[in-house]
Structure 1
């Protein structure tokens, strides 16, 4: 087994967002929840338009983060409506848009500081 490359947790969370955006994820957010919860340090929230896109986004995150970390658990992948990828200190939630609206984690975690995702990873509102 090869050693993982050390990377600060915030940077890993941003990488997760970047890998999600690489698959055209929508409304991607990185939230620092370390001061308001003990479940993790960061949440990454992302949306997809279909079960296949949600699965592709989750796959992209897991594959992209492989050199740096391995997922402790993944839930919901087979259905592709809400996939949770748990890295311990970073938890990635990938939803279909209507499921995200229904559970509204954005509102639940509204006290968390949102971390800016660098423009280089953004695809929405960019000129071709």
Structure 2
């Protein structure tokens, strides 16, 4: 199964809901597509990546997430990751949970955007 997703633009944020695998096969396209939206969309600067339905993340996927956070920060934006137990475990193994701004739910991430 490959990576699939949807994009929803609200007032000041973009919500990407993803399913499937974030791995070496999908990370290039994932990074290019989300990175493009980070650069293009100036009004919806906050990015929420809903990875709660992701089945697997490997080191390539983690690398893409790190690059997207850096790209968002350099464009004056924020990026938060909504996680599930599997993704959280992988992220915690490499101690990136704070850097990737892991959130337990989309609602929590939206609340953070509203208070930003």
Same fold flag (TM > 0.5):
no
Higher helix content, 1 or 2: 2
Normalising to structure 2: TM-score of the pair?
0.37
Rg (Cα) greater in structure: 1
Higher strand content, 1 or 2: 2
Highest relative contact order (Cα 8 Å, sep 6+), 1 or 2?
Answer: 1
